[in-house]
Structures are given as C-alpha cells and as structure tokens.
Chain A
Amino acid sequence: MNIFDNNFKEIFSSQIVSIIGGLIAGTVLALYMDKILLIPGMLVFLPGFLSMVHDISGTFAARLSSGLFLGVIKPNKVETKIIKGNLSASFFLAIFVSLILGVIAFLFNLLVLHIFTIKIILLPLIAGALANAMNITLTLFVTFYLFRKGHDPNNIMGPFVTSAGDIIGIISLLIVLVII
C-alpha cells in the first residue's frame, strides 16, 4: 500500500494553501483582537460568517466550472444570462445568510447577556455584503482565467476560495467595524 501517492500529494498541497490563508486571517484577527473579539456576540457569528463566505463562493465556482466544461458557459463571455443569474443569486444568498447570522448573535446578546446592540445585526450584514462582493468577483475572474489557461478550476478553486474567503472576510469585518 503506497500511502504517499499522487492523491496524498494533491490533498497535502491543497491543504497547505488553505492553511496559509487561514493563518493569515487568524493573524489579522489576533492583531485586531481588542476591536473584533471584545464585541459581545462576535464569536457567535464569526465561524458561521467565515464558512458562509466559503460556501457561497465555493458553490459559485463549482457551478461556473461545470458550465465551462459542458460548454454552456463560454470562457470569453461574461455577460450572459447564466452568469448574471449566478451573480445575483450568490449576492442575495450572502445578504440573507448574513442577516440570519446577525439576528442569531443579536438574540444571544439580548437573551443571554441582556445587552441590546443593533450593531451586531448590521456588522455581519454590511461585512457579508462587502466580503462577498469582493470574493464572488474574484472567484468569477480566477475561475475564467484558470479555465482559459487550460487548468481544471475544480482542483484549484476549493482551497483558493477558502484562503481568500478567510482573509477577505476578516478584513471586511475590520473595515465595517471602523465605519460603524
């Protein structure tokens, strides 16, 4: 049984990419810990917020890749019905799920900590819109670029979306924290 075969190498290298993104995001989180984590209820929505950014961009990349391979989506034509539909659906889902996350954190603050903070709803909502606007756009162009260069986006986009999503997610939260 050859353990260290091609599958091992592929899984290991994609994990290294994913971990590096996670560690960069973690470092930013640690650097601004006093601003981010000391807000009541922040840790309630943070894990869900980061996985929401990955999930939305990940499924978007997977749908694009399938369409590109099947020839339904043309690699040199972005303004089509399918792509516009995908973009608007992904963005709507991002806003909706961010709102749900904010409401859960708000209810936790209200019912458990007895703190009334409406900002805890606005924070994931605005940061979610900002993070997904950046990550979805990036995902669209990177998927098309990889396909045009002859790569299979399915093999690369998973770890890429996870890494980029973590970094963009944390930076968006910081930006929104400064604004509100």
Chain B
Amino acid sequence: MKNVRQHLEKLRKISRKKYHPLIHKIHKKHKISKKTLFYVKEYGQHSNVPRTIIRESIKILMLASIISSFGGLSLEHIKTVFVSIYPLIILLPALNDMVGDYGTIVSSRFSTMLHEGKIKKDCWKNKELKKLLVQIIIISLLTAVFSSIIAMIISSLSNYAVGAATVYKIFSIAIIDVIFLVSTLFLISVYAGFYFFRKKEDPNNFLIPITTSIADFGNMIILSVLIMLFF
C-alpha cells in the first residue's frame, strides 16, 4: 500500500500537460484504472484546478452557445407567429431538452458498444444497435405526445382556445421535429463514431458535443420551418 501511495504522489508531482509513461507503468504494476490515474494527474497538487477546467471547457461551451444562438436567430425571425402559439412556447424548453438528451444517450451508448467490440463492419446488422434505435424512436414518440398533451392542457387552462386544428398542428410539429432530429442524430452518431474510433480516438469526447450542438441548432431550425408550414 505504501508503495502505491509513493507512486501516486510521484504521479501527482508531474506536470499535467502531457500524457506521461508513468501512468501506464503504475496502471500495469498496481492494477489501478487509467481513469483514476488520469484524475489524480489532472487535478493533482501541481495543477491549477480552475485553469484546467476553464481551458478545457471554454472552447466547446462557446461553440455550443454560438450554434444555439444561430438556431435562435431562425426562431427570432418568426417571432410574431411563434408568440401567438401558446402551446409551442410551453413546449420549447421541453423539446430542446428532449432532443439534446437523446443525442447524448445515443452517442454514449454507441461509443460504449464500439469500445466493447460489439460493433463490426456492417453495424446496421447489429441487434443491440437496432434495438437502441427502436427504443429511442418509441420513447421519443411517447415523450413528444406526452409533452404535447400537457402543453395543450396548460394552454386551455390559461384560456387559450385549443381547437381540433391546433391539436393536430401541435402534435404534428412535436412528432415530426423529434422523429426527424432523433433519426438524424442516430445516423450522425453511428458514422462519426466509426470515423473517430478508426482514428483511435475516444468517440465519447467528440460525439456528445457534436450531437448536442446539432440537436440545439437543428431543433430551432426545424421548429421554425414547421411553424411556417403549419401556421
């Protein structure tokens, strides 16, 4: 145990900037996972914790915010129509959360499948991947219908006239938006995941930011187009 501590202390003292061969040696010798060793090195006594976090996060956060703002531009463009459709205002944050969450789930699950070696060349024949696609489509349909119903109930309680035409339009917008984006995110996750995995990179680090940004941006664009078509 004392030996392990000595090695970990040695690791903590190393500059955190580059991958060090000592990580591999300690991992092999003491069977400590590389993730633990990475965490010890990343936030060790010689690292400036806030600076490490800020430097690693700032670019992706800025990119995500800029992409979301571009999506917001399209919604701002149809603002006068949008603010008059009460159920859609209620639905907006829920739809955004939903699509982003599905992007994260698909990305992380597909990355895990790749790491576990479950995905071969012809990935669409993989039963687990097919099952994930079916599950995500069913859940996204159910949640789109559920959130639309709740949004329309709240709207009618707030004296907004929810007629048959509005019900049809809100259901159509929510379902088309969610199904289109979930299918697109699935395709992107699979093809981009394969690409990064072949390049010997961890797909997790790329797929989640890519899919959540596309989900945010795509949701605003698709919603704007659908509102223009239906209203």
Contact = CB atoms under 8 A, between A and B. Distances in A.
B71 interface: yes
Interface stretch (B15-23, B86-94, B114-122, B185-193): B86-94
Interface in B52-85: 52-54, 57-58, 61-62, 64-66, 68-69, 71-73, 75-76, 79, 82-83
Contact of A25 (B75, B93, B131): B93
A19 B143 contact: yes
**Dominant secondary structure of chain B at its interface with chain A:** helix
A16 interface: yes
Contacts of B58: 93, 96
Contacts of B50: 85-86, 88-89, 92
B49 A158 contact: no
A12 B142 contact: yes
B36 A23 contact: no
A46 B90 contact: no
A105 to B, nearest CB: 7
A92 B54 contact: yes
B10 interface: no
> Which of B97, B98, B100, B104 has the most chain A CB atoms closer than 10 A to its own CB?
B97
A15 B61 contact: no
B83 A38 contact: yes
B158 interface: yes
B71 to A, nearest CB: 6
A66 B43 CA distance: 12
A29 B53 CA distance: 32
Contacts of B69: 44-45, 47-48, 101, 104-105
A47 B72 contact: yes
A38 B89 CA distance: 13
A178 interface: no
B66 A22 contact: no
Contact of B72 (A21, A45, A63, A158): A45
B57 A59 contact: yes
A47 B220 contact: yes
Interface stretch (B147-155, B161-169, B195-203): B147-155
A44 B39 CA distance: 37
Interface string A1-22: 1010001100110111011011
B40 A72 contact: yes
B101 A158 contact: yes
Given A101-B65, A166-B97, 9 more contacts: A1-B130, A22-B94, A30-B154, A51-B64, A55-B61, A72-B40, A86-B50, A86-B53, A93-B53
21 contacts: A1-B127, A1-B130, A3-B135, A8-B138, A25-B93, A26-B89, A26-B151, A30-B86, A30-B90, A44-B69, A47-B68, A47-B216, A48-B66, A51-B64, A55-B61, A59-B57, A70-B35, A84-B49, A86-B53, A97-B65, A100-B65
